[in-house]
Amino acid sequence: MRTDQAERDEMPLDPVGRRISCGKERATVRYVGHVSPYEGLWLGVEWDNPERGKHDGSHEGVRYFTCRNPKGGSFVRPQKVSFGVDFLTAVYLTYQTNAEEVLNEEIFISSKKLEWFVVEEKRFENLPSVVLNHSNVNGPGAAGEIRKTTPNVQWLDLSGSLLSTWKDVAAITEQLDKLEGLQLSVNRISLTSDPWAHRQAFSNLKLLALNNCDFTWLQMLECAPMWPQLEDLSLENNNIRELQRPEGVLQTLKSLNLSCNPLMQESVSRLSSLPRYTTSTDIFPALMNLNLDHNNISEWSMVNELAKLPCLVKLSCRDNKLVSSDGNPKTVNQMIIAKLGHLLYLNNSEISFEERKGAELDYIKMFGEEWLKAGGVDQASTAFTCQHPRYQMLIEKYGAPDEGELKKPEPFALKNQLINITFVFPDDAEREPIGKKLPASMVVQKVKGLLHRLLKIPPADLRLTYTSHKVKLDHTSLLYFYTESTN
């Protein structure tokens, strides 16, 4: 039987807090020691998958460690898990055994597809990108060896690794002087007590993906001093519920992905809300692209706040709970376009000149009645202006809507889509006019079919002329009908 000391000798010196793999599962070590009444050494682990375990860190009334989830913990034998390998070992294993496959695969960091540079010789020092996703990387290995072996790496994928601290990550990246893009998704990395100490290790980093890492926004802000030049940050599918203003950090950020987070919508406005007497340069002065897909946003006031982001030109806001009065998703998009005048792309589609003009004109008509009640041209109320900050500017751009255009559209129902049709017979003075209510969308061929059944006249012999109460026409046919709307 293996002794406890022999098993400890095969583990890192400080195993608690380290990341391990067990089959396809990942976990963090929370306890090392004995578990009564069993013999031998055990590891108490907290699984990334909260349903993977059997308990919360306690066994038969004794608590050995704590878990955030009641089924997040297990005890496993040390020989059943792997603590991973260092960076260069993973490179050798990946690129010497699967070189062709790795060099030919597509690389994605954040949502950006990366292209391989031309590599004349397949030597490690020529690699511009290194893909080690799910390769169980746990640290840098021997000091200085990464810089000697892979000095030209610009893009690095360490998603699904066994890195447990930012110190371990920084020990790798500080040896990659040309590194611009870093994929760290599907990791559990503990916070650092001094982010400024690692600033040099990420000094050239422009793109960082931390999807599915269970981070909060406050934790991101605590880490942000490490990334002085960051332009693209992806935080998809994390634990971000509330947002706080970035004070003095992330000022170079151009793209932010917050999709698939349980965001509380009132906190979204904190991204752009300005205290009195401050300028927009205090908040994301460079942010051009914002992704809020698959959240719980339902208040239009949040969209109004986004207008305060001075450089925002791309917004993705799909699968949220924003609704319009008519319940039409296309109307929701029109309202977003009208509210955000500087937007060039919505939901990854370019906004054309005609689409913007149509959206803004419809927006004027949609809320024209409220605008008149709130004071109209003279001076709209503060409440209306807060709900529709761009409305007065749109009035100045296109002019006030005609009174007839201000009527609210009635909800869709068949009875609201019918019009009164009166059939008259100029060549048959004795025949009484016939009145019918018909769908406005009814085509002429079906109208002739109706008249055929009523008059017993072959459809080919029917000649129809249309006139309305708004327009006079010459009645040159034997049969014409008169129409007026029921509305």
Lowest mean pLDDT, pick from 39-48, 355-364, 468-477: 468-477
Structure tokens at 157: 């994928």
Q: For the chain, report the end-to-end CA distance as a whole number of angstroms.
A: 90
Q: For residue 169, what pLDDT is reported?
A: 98
Q: For residue 473, what pLDDT is reported?
A: 39
80 Cβ neighbours under 8 A, 6+ residues apart:
22
Neighbour-count burial of 42, counting CB atoms closer than 10 A to its CB (0-12 exposed, 13-18 middle, 19+ buried): buried
Question: What would the pLDDT profile of 177-194 be if each residue is shown by its tens digit?
Answer: 999 999 999 999 999 999
pLDDT band (50, 70, 90) for residue 477: very low
CA–CA dist 28, 14 (Å, integer): 12
CB count in 10 Å sphere of residue 117:
13
- Residue ranges of the domains in the chain? 18-80, 85-360, 416-486
Structure tokens at 214: 């269970």
- DSSP-assigned states of every residue in 417-461: GEEEEEEE-TT-TTSPPEEEEEETT--HHHHHHHHHHHH---GGG
Q: For residue 157, what pLDDT is reported?
A: 97
Structure tokens at 469: 């109460």
Q: Is the pLDDT of residue 165 over 50?
A: yes
What's the topology of domain 416-486?
A: Ubiquitin-like (UB roll) (3.10.20)
Of these ranges, 100-109, 245-254, 433-442, 457-466, the one predicted with the greatest mean pLDDT is: 245-254
Question: What would the pLDDT profile of 200-234 be if each residue is shown by its tens digit?
Answer: 999 999 999 999 999 999 999 999 999 999 999 99
Neighbour-count burial of 208, counting CB atoms closer than 10 A to its CB (0-12 exposed, 13-18 middle, 19+ buried): buried
Question: What would the pLDDT profile of 140-164 be if each residue is shown by its tens digit?
Answer: 999 999 999 999 999 999 999 999 9
Q: Is the pLDDT of residue 33 over 70?
A: yes
What's the topology of domain 85-360?
A: 3.80.10
Structure tokens at 343: 């937007």
Q: Is the pLDDT of residue 97 over 80?
A: no
Lowest mean pLDDT, pick from 83-87, 421-425, 441-445: 441-445
CA angle 276, 277, 281 (to 5 degrees): 105
pLDDT band (50, 70, 90) for residue 244: confident
Class of domain 18-80: mainly beta
Question: What would the pLDDT profile of 259-294 be if each residue is shown by its tens digit?
Answer: 999 888 777 766 665 443 334 445 788 999 999 999
CA–CA dist 255, 344 (Å, integer): 14
**Average pLDDT taken over every residue of the chain:** 85
Q: Do the domains spanning 85-360 and 416-486 agree at the CATH topology level?
A: no
Q: For residue 470, what pLDDT is reported?
A: 42
CA–CA dist 209, 302 (Å, integer): 25
Pairing of β 434-439 and β 418-424: antiparallel
Share of the chain above pLDDT 90, in %: 58
Q: For residue 425, what pLDDT is reported?
A: 81
CA–CA dist 44, 47 (Å, integer): 10
pTM (two decimals):
0.77
